[in-house]
Chains A and B, each alone.
Chain A
Amino acid sequence: MARDGEDAGMVKAAKVKRQRKKKTKENKTRTVHANILYDNAKGEENPNRHYANNKIKTTKYTLLSFLPKNLFEQFHRFANVYFVFIALLNFVPVVNAFQPELALAPVVFILSVTAIKDLWEDYRRHRSDKEINHMDCLVYSRVERRYVEKYWKEVRVGDFIRLRCNEILPADVLLLTSSDPDRLCHIETATLDGETNLKQRQVVRSFFDLDCDFDPTKYNSIIECEKPNNDLNRFRGYIIHRSGRRDALYKENLLLRGCTIRNTEEAVGIVIYAGHETKAMLNNNGPRYKRSKLERQMNVDVFWCVIILLVMCLFAAVGHGLWMFQYGDKRPVFDVLSPEGTDLSPIMSAIYLFLTMIIVFQVLIPISLFVSIEIVKICQVFFIHQDMDLYDEETDSHLQCRALNITEDLGQMQYIFSDKTGTLTENKMVFRRCTVAGVEYSHDANARRLAMYQEMDSEEEECTSHGGTLPRRDSVTSHQSARVVLRSQSTKSHRRTGSRAEAKRASILSKHTEKDITPDPQLLDKVNECSSQMDFMRFHSQPMSQLPSDLSDIIDFFIALTICNTVVVSSPNQPRQKVKLSEGYAPPALLITNRSSNRGCSSILSSPSAESTLTKLDEEKPPNLEHTFSPVPPCYSEKAWAVAEGELRYEAESPDEAALVYAARAYKCSLVGRLPDQVTVELPHLGKLSFELLHTLGFDSTRKRMSVVVRHPLTDQITVYTKGADSVIMDLIKPPNTGNSKGKRQKKIVYRTQNYLNLYAADGLRTLCIAKKVLTKEEYACWLQRHLEAETAIQGREELLFESALRLETNLHLLGATGIEDRLQDGVPETIASLRKAGLQIWVLTGDKQETAVNIAYACKLLEPEEEILTLNEACALLLEESLHYIQIYPSSSPSSSSVPFMVHRLGLVIDGRTLAYALDKSLEDKFLAVARSCRSVLCCRSTPLQKSMVVKLVRNKLKVMTLAIGDGANDVSMIQVADVGVGISGQEGMQAVMASDFALPRFRYLQKLLLVHGHWCYSRLANMILYFFYKNAVTLIFWYQFYCGFSGSAMIDQWYLIFFNLMFSAFPQLITGTLDKDVSAETLQQLPQLYISGQNSEEYKPYMFWMNMIDAFYQSLVCFFIPYFAYADSDVDLFTWGTPITTLALFTILLHLGIETKTWTWMNWLSISFSIALFFTVALCYNASCPTCYSPSNPYWTMQRLLQDPLFYFLCVITPVTALLPRYFYRACQGTLFPSPVQVGRQLDKLPAETRRNILSLSRVKVGSPLSTKPPFLSLAKPLPKDTITVMGHRQPLECNLVLLVFYVKVFWILGLV
């Protein structure tokens, strides 16, 4: 499968390359003309004819090319070539061992199974291609002078396409016109990046002013743009009009294939890229393939098998040479000449025999191993997928396995690298506190209210279902009652198992907390006072600058919160209607004039949301006070929304933006509309104000801030509002002039704000600073000029814009700061605790500031209060090195600490981005790692995405450990791709992380079951299956026979049995066991995370185990060969009458061996074993009865039938498997008693009744204290332990101690039980 993926990628890459080559001859850019101009001149003259059409074909094969192409691809796997080589070797008469046709059977079988699978997949692709190619869309036809329906596949570059609401885009289309009043088109890009919030796309600027409908026939511009590429966030080009005017094109003008048109009735565009050249298709790379650690290990052992095979062949060849040699010239009658009648020298026949033996011993290399592993992995993925515990009710999503072949890696993880926001936390931001102009508003009421919700969530809240003090929706109560019923059945410990009702309720809870903010009364008063003053001043035409500075700061603060963002106001699924206001003061009822459709708009003003009624203000703004005041009146317009629930929905790209807008709304500063050029805000007393939006300088991770430039409607000033991380904003604050009182006050404000920021961070809140800057007209004009230059530049536009932003965001005036809470996800501390017990090192890599990160780390138990925290904040390389030196010496100075588990000094390492940059330097990375390894937890703050991936790469490569990266956002993508296993959280921040991941989880806490249970199972199942496979194939009875047939390569086992033995007779039980075997139950695995350590240490499949299995196979083959040998020695038995019992008892031995290794016997195991035996006998009986003259040379006619009448056969079939398996059985029994592995102890625990198990597990967590603990090692271990024994030791020497303890407890319990 890996090969398939690679090939698909390669083919695709090659295709693209070919296309590129073709294009480079022509041009570096793509020129698109409108097709309708060339409709008459079909073909040749159309300048667009070279571009790919919109027909997609993702299939790899055609009917004709399937066979050669598929075979070619399959032969990329070395094993297949090897087996075909062996099969072909059989066609050479001198060396052939089997009937050539028959020898082809296994390899043909394997190849055809794979081919059928490929064919089926390709057929599915073909069908879905066909379906997509035959979807309809409206294309303008010059002949009919209207838009006609066409199939997607008929769309060509240069076609005009009309798109309607909720249609899916057939190709990458340049937006030319839209029915939207503001020439916008809303699209949903969920299929591309999974983000469900609507994105606005703009009509190309030159068509913006078009008043009447767009007429394709009048279009005569030429578009020049870049070559097709896969960057979704980039599109550059320009459109050249007949007039010679050039207009730049941006990604905002491009609608991408696969997106869905929303909220827009109609849009028309011209196709720029079609079919395979669309960005969506270029991004579609298919599933990813990785090689798992287990498979890498397996490949080493396959290699060893090859060595063993060669040694055996060589041995046999030498043996044959010697055997020939001893006869000298006297040729015995049984040494047949070659077909040509020529006499072979011993050396030549030895060489021939070597090749023959390779054929005869081919079973040693497990041909079906690869196919079996693939089958088992697909089944494992199926079961993981079906697990109810990994299903999230709230989002109706499961775990997704995006990489199908690394399931077993989940059981071997050693390091987890986690993102913080959205992974550990909900990424649902709740506004908690703010500070404005140096005054802190603690929002106590809000905090209390939140605490109340929290309480509801907590244990005590048993029956507040109806009489709750908080208003709730009816649905809540019904779910509540359902939950109470459920609760009564289950014990309290299962509280967090998440029934549907509970999940629902949690979602309602989070909805509440996100949107409802109880305003701080003090601040509210000030806001009211301020706005009424402003209202007053406006009426009296006083300049706004007379406002006291603290009050103006407050109002600016809220305006900044409201407009300094990219939040889109929407109401779900309704196309927007533009309502033109004829006069500013017209009564609302008359305002509703619908331009294009008859759909009425209920009201212009949305009343405050239904939910915010519970945060009732003492005074409600009377509706008639509403004014439309605008200093820029030329085309004043106002948005009206067809609001279904009377509620505005804010769609924000990041949840903290939404939280801030909701917070501002609580203070009656609501965002009511956003257009590309204007933002409408509703303020108390002042009514609706429209801010002319001059520029938006978007957020980026380097600047860590965003700004908007607006013209303030009241003061008519050009104002810059900036919002960003405190560290950057604080540096940009205009240094206060300490001379005057104002400056002093400003300094004080900055100082205080910084204090509060530190406090917020200490509380684990995310902090943002809000600042503003007023520009004079000249300043603005100056900046604007350079900014426009930057905007219109085609080369290096991004860099220029970045510089332009830097120029603007200086000398800011600090308004205030906010503290937003990001709630921890459910069960995160528990999950981290149990993952840590499982021996996993957890590193948190976050972009957040240090204090926030540290606090979250404490909250989720990543850091513990008693831990000593090493904080590395040294930006200077020398100092850093020094400190690293110091720390490096530190743990090594007390080496005894590691040997005495409970004396381990527990360290936590906190490092920030700047220091990390130094630490990741080549010269320092080893020291950094040495320090990090000796710490229990590592926290990297302020790290960039690149740093995250560098850290993962460093740990992975240097420490040679298995790494897992988990994250939810685009900034985690690189880290997810670098790690051995990447896990994406399908959370709030879109799907980029999920797209890049191998597994996608709905919630962080599912990681526990995924790793501890499924990871463990998948690993132990596959490891055992692979070991068993090697064993099974190594039982080479034929080798021993060579000693008795003159090393002639003869086989006593009929070739049919020999070839189908592994392929059919013994194939099914191991697949069943490999898929279904459970060594320990899911409950125990979760309760005893320590069991995971066995997977980390690869204890199920160590290199020595391969050799042990080989030795066992060696012994068993000896037994299976020599017992029949002696039983039939010097008798009249013929070759195949002797070989058939050997086959039979080898089958029994192999199946019983599997039986010993099987830990869980379900009916499927029984069935598969019985089926195997039945199949063997049925096939044997039929085969032996079918044809008396066929199947030369073995000619087994009636052999099995005779054997079944022979008592000796049965006696052999009883004693041989018993003898063969005696050592293993005995060893397993002794091991289970004398030195049980942790997993075996877990299984013993499983056997105990549930209550006992719980007792033991709880017992093992507390001090021993039992008088029965007479054995000194236990006592000495147990005595000095603090209460959290297991956890303490879970760090360094978890296995031995825990197990000894556990075994001990099991025993103690039984003794107690006896008494």
Chain B
Amino acid sequence: MIAAMMASSYNAKEEDGHHSGSSSHGGAGAVKSKKPDNTAFKQQRLPAWQPILTAGTVLPAFFVIGLIFIPIGIGLYVTSNNIKEFEVDYTGVDINSPCYSCAKNFSWNSTQSCVCSVNFTLEQPFESNVFMYYGLSNFYQNHRRYVKSRDDSQLNGDLSALMNPSKECEPYRTNDGLPIAPCGAIANSLFNDTLDLYYVDSNSTKTPIPLAKKGIAWWTDKHVKFRNPSGNTNLTVTFQGTTKPVNWRKPVYELDPSEADNNGFINEDFIVWMRTAALPTFRKLYRIIQKKSGTTPTLPSGRYILDITYNYPVLSFDGRKRMILSTISWMGGKNPFLGIAYITVGSICFFLGVVLLIIHHKYDTRNNSADIPN
């Protein structure tokens, strides 16, 4: 008998040598009974919830979704509507527009900057903090090769990367044998228009509105991701041996002449620009207009003048440039879409719920007796 078992286990080994996994139980089980375990798992009898999708069972879900979504949608819509937003297109396509000549006569290597100013009127006062954006259209900051064209190590202050930027930056890696800092196409195409806002009061005096340039970038970008090369406090020395990007007018360490610690790679305008936009029409935060005190609105209604130092060409690719003033809510900028979407989907759900109710009443008698105890 034992020999027989030996033989059979031998057999299992030799003949079933190719078998994998589950079939290998035979050899070990030869001594005991091979009877499978009577466990819920192995017998596929695990306790389970088995929903059946019929009109009757599903329609409460539709009503519940409808009832939840519609109020949310209304809330979102109202919130979005309360946000004040104002937009000025200063591209200068139209011959009447003040920046027409600037746009027309643009040349990358002109040293003289062209300034134009746009007048506009705010009908309603902006109460809380106002965010000033510049908006670009038709600008494909998400182009595959464009997005890649940067060297994060360099931007993080890595000295070796500073002098020897990554290959990804090609063809904006070196210029005249010198490494470009910051390298790459993104940096090269940095938005360099300057926007200044003035309030024109009733007696036509221009009051400059203070624009905060700090706090417009992500905190983590400013403090972790972007860093100036360390070693020397003087940025000019640090960046010695590098050259500015081709399209730039001034080197990276002179981006903000007014504030010393807003220069180099940690210049916030630069950081904001380096965060490539998702869609070809986008806006980027430019300045923040802080609310001053309790009662006076941040931007009272009235006439304003926007002075633009027109440096950035967009006409070649049918682009548009805008200046946007917007207040902000807990859910971000003005966008009624989500509210409308919630209301729509909620209504559709509700409607489908009604349809299901009809179907249920007509065809599905089963659920009628759901309350019968069984």
**Are B13 and A132 in touch, CB under 8 angstroms?**
yes
Q: Judge whether A1229 is part of the interface by a CB distance below 8 angstroms.
A: yes
Asked whether any CB of chain A lies closer than 8 Å to the CB of B152, the reply is yes
A-B residue pairs in contact (CB < 8 Å), sample of 16: A121-B18, A124-B17, A188-B7, A332-B317, A378-B21, A386-B36, A388-B36, A1051-B144, A1132-B282, A1160-B48, A1162-B47, A1197-B221, A1211-B76, A1222-B345, A1307-B365, A1313-B372
- Provide the bound-state CA to CA distance between A1082 and B40, in Å: 13
Known contacts: A1129-B335, A1222-B348. The answer to whether A1134 contacts B278 by CB under 8 A is yes
A19 interface residue, CB < 8 Å from B? no
- The smallest beta-carbon distance between B320 and chain A, in angstroms, is 11
Asked if B280 is an interface residue, CB under 8 A from chain A, the answer is yes
Q: Tell me the minimal C-beta distance from A245 to chain B in angstroms.
A: 37
Across the interface, name the chain B residue whose C-beta is closest to A1224: B53
Complex interface residues of chain A between 856 and 891 (CB less than 8 A to chain B):
none
Measured in the bound complex, the distance between the Cα atoms of B258 and A309 in whole Å is 54
- Report the Cα distance A949→B343, complex, angstroms: 66
Q: Which chain A residues (1195-1212) contact chain B, with CB distance < 8 Å?
A: 1195, 1197-1198, 1202, 1206-1208, 1211-1212
Closest A residue to B226 by CB, please name it: A1188
If the complex has contacts A333-B188, A378-B22, A1234-B363, are A396 and B52 also in contact, measured as CB distance less than 8 A? no
A782 is an interface residue with CB less than 8 A from chain B: no
Asked if A1138 contacts B218 (CB within 8 A), the reply is no
Query: Do residues B356 and A1229 form an inter-chain contact, with CB atoms below 8 A?
Result: yes
Q: Are A1132 and B133 in contact (CB under 8 A)?
A: yes
Inter-chain CA distance A985–B48, complex, in Å, is 34
A135 to nearest B CB, angstroms?
8
Residues of chain A within 8 A of B352, CB atoms compared: 1222, 1226
Shortest CB distance B107–A (Å): 14
Contacts A190-B7, A1134-B276, A1234-B363 hold; do A1045 and B144 have CB atoms under 8 A apart?
yes
Of residues 1212 through 1266 on chain A, the ones whose CB sits less than 8 Å from some CB of chain B are 1212, 1215, 1218-1219, 1222, 1225-1226, 1228-1234, 1236, 1240, 1243-1244, 1246-1249, 1252
Interface residues in B1-60 (C-beta closer than 8 Å to A): 1, 3-4, 6-8, 10-11, 13-15, 17-26, 33-38, 42-44, 46-59
Q: Which of A397-405, A549-557, A609-617, A801-809 has 4 or more CB atoms under 8 Å from chain B?
A: A397-405
Please name all residues of chain B whose beta carbon is closer than 8 Å to the beta carbon of A1306 when the two chains form the complex. Answer: 366
A734 to chain B, nearest CB (A): 48
Q: Fill in one digit per residue for A1119-1152: 1 if any B CB lies within 8 Å of its CB, else 0.
A: 0000101111111111101110000000000000
* Chain B residues within 8 Å of A128, by CB: 13-14, 17
Q: Is B342 an interface residue (CB 8 A)?
A: yes
**B36 contacts across to A, CB distance below 8 A:** 385-388, 391, 398
CB-CB under 8 A from B147, the residues of chain A are 1050, 1135, 1193
B130 CB to closest chain A CB, in angstroms?
14
| CB-defined contacts of A1314 to chain B, threshold 8 Å | 368-369, 372
Q: How far is B3's CA from A1125's CA once the two chains are assembled, in angstroms?
A: 74
A304 within 8 A of B: no
Q: Which residues of B contact A1231 (CB under 8 A)?
A: 53
Complex interface bits, A1-36 against B, C-beta within 8 A gives 1, otherwise 0: 000010010000000000000000000000000000
Asked whether B50 lies within 8 Å of A1246 as measured between CB atoms, the reply is: yes
B363 to chain A, nearest CB (A): 5
- Size of interface on B: residues with Cβ below 8 Å to A: 122
Residue of B nearest to A389 (CB): B43
Which of A336-344, A471-479, A906-914 sits within the interface?
A336-344
Which residues of B sit under 8 angstroms from A1211, Cβ to Cβ? 72, 76, 331, 338, 342
Size of interface on A: residues with Cβ below 8 Å to B:
129
Across the interface, do B42 and A383 meet the contact criterion of CB distance under 8 Å?
Answer: yes
Question: Could you tell me if B189 and A125 are in contact, using CB atoms closer than 8 angstroms?
Answer: no
Contacting residues, chain B, for A1240 (C-beta < 8 A): 52
The answer on a CB contact under 8 Å between B1 and A1050 is: no
> Which B145-162 residues have C-beta < 8 A from chain A?
145-153, 155-156, 158
B19 to chain A: closest residue by CB = A287
Q: Kindly state whether residue A260 has any CB partner on chain B within 8 Å.
A: yes
Give A1225 to B11 CA distance when docked, in angstroms.
Answer: 53
A225 at the interface (CB under 8 A from B): no
Contacting pair A1046 B140 (CB below 8 A): yes
Q: A1175-1204 interface mask toward B, CB cutoff 8 Å, 1 = contact, 0 = none?
A: 000000000000011101101011000100
Minimum distance in angstroms from B16 CB to a CB of chain A: 8
Interface flag for A777 (CB, 8 Å): no
- Contact B331 A393, beta carbon cutoff 8 Å: no
CB within 8 Å for A1048 and B145 given contacts A388-B35, A1132-B284, A1132-B285:
yes
List residues of chain B with CB within 8 A of the CB of A1164: 46
Question: A215 within 8 Å of B by Cβ?
Answer: no
Contacts of B150 in A (CB 8 A): 1192-1193
Asked if B55 and A1135 make an inter-chain contact with CB atoms under 8 angstroms apart, the answer reads: no
Contact across chains for B337 and A1218 when beta carbons are under 8 A apart: no
Residue among A1052, A1134, A1247 making CB contact with B275, cutoff 8 Å: A1134
CA distance A730 to B224 in the complex (A): 102
Q: Are A8 and B369 in contact (CB under 8 A)?
A: no
- B115 contacts A by Cβ under 8 Å: no
A334-B141, A1311-B365 in contact; A1189/B23 too (CB < 8 A)? no
Q: Does A97 contact B (CB under 8 A)?
A: yes
- Is A975 an interface position by the 8 A CB rule? no
**Contact at B59–A383, with CB atoms within 8 Å?**
no
Cβ-neighbour of A1230 out of B13, B135, B356 (below 8 A): B356
In the complex, which of the residues B18, B171, B335, B369 contacts A340, with contact meaning CB atoms closer than 8 Å? Answer: B171
- A1310 contacts chain B at the CB level, 8 A cutoff: yes
Kindly state whether residue A1156 has any CB partner on chain B within 8 Å.
yes
> Is A396 within 8 A of B35, CB to CB?
yes
B224 contact from A129, A1045, A1133, A1197, Cβ within 8 A: A1197
Which residues of chain A are near B152, meaning CB under 8 Å?
1188-1190, 1192, 1195
CB distance from A276 to the nearest CB of B (A): 12
Task: Mark A179-195 against chain B: 1 for CB-CB distance below 8 A, else 0.
Answer: 00000000010110000
Q: Is B240 an interface residue (CB 8 A)?
A: no
A428–chain B nearest beta-carbon distance, Å: 22
B220 CB within 8 Å of chain A: yes
Which residues between 658 and 678 of chain A lie within 8 Å of chain B, taking CB atoms?
none
User: With an 8 A cutoff between CB atoms, is A1044 at the interface?
Assistant: yes
Pick the most buried of B51, B135, B247, B372: most chain A CB atoms within 10 A of its CB. B51
Q: Does B96 contact A (CB under 8 A)?
A: no
A1044–B276 Cα distance when bound, in Å, is: 14
- Is B316 a contact partner of A330 (Cβ separation < 8 A)? yes
Hey, which chain B residues are within 8 Å of A385, CB to CB? 22-23, 25, 36
Q: How far is the CA of A1248 from the CA of B369 in the complex (A)?
A: 12
- Among A117, A402, A1219, find the residue whose CB has the most chain B CB atoms closer than 10 A: A1219
CB–CB A1192/B369 < 8 A: no
Given A327-B317, A388-B35, A1215-B338, decide whether A284 and B50 contact each other with a Cβ distance below 8 A: no
Shortest beta-carbon distance from A432 to chain B in Å: 33
Residue-by-residue, is B353-370 near A (CB-CB < 8 Å gives 1, otherwise 0)?
000100110011110110
Establish whether residues B278 and A1128, one from each chain, have CB atoms under 8 Å apart when the complex forms: yes
Partner of B22, one of A132, A401, A1048: A401
**Beta-carbon nearest neighbor of A332 in chain B:** B317
Give complex CA distance A1206, B69 in Å: 19
Give Cα A335 to B147, complex, Å.
Answer: 10
- Chain A: CB-nearest residue to B11: A191
Q: A1123: which B residues are within 8 A, CB to CB?
A: 341
Nearest CB in chain A to that of B142: its residue: A1045
Chain B residues within an 8 Å CB radius of A1193: 147-148, 150, 168
CB <8 Å contact, B15 and A284: yes
Residue of B nearest to A1195 (CB): B152
B168 touches A1192 (CB 8 A): yes
Residue on A with the closest CB to B37?
A386
Tell me which residues across on chain B come within 8 A of A1126, comparing CB atoms: 335, 337-338, 341
A1294 at the interface (CB under 8 A from B): no
* Interface membership of A381, Cβ < 8 A: yes
Find chain A residues with CB under 8 A from B145 CB. Answer: 335-336, 338, 1048
A1078 touches B44 (CB 8 A): yes
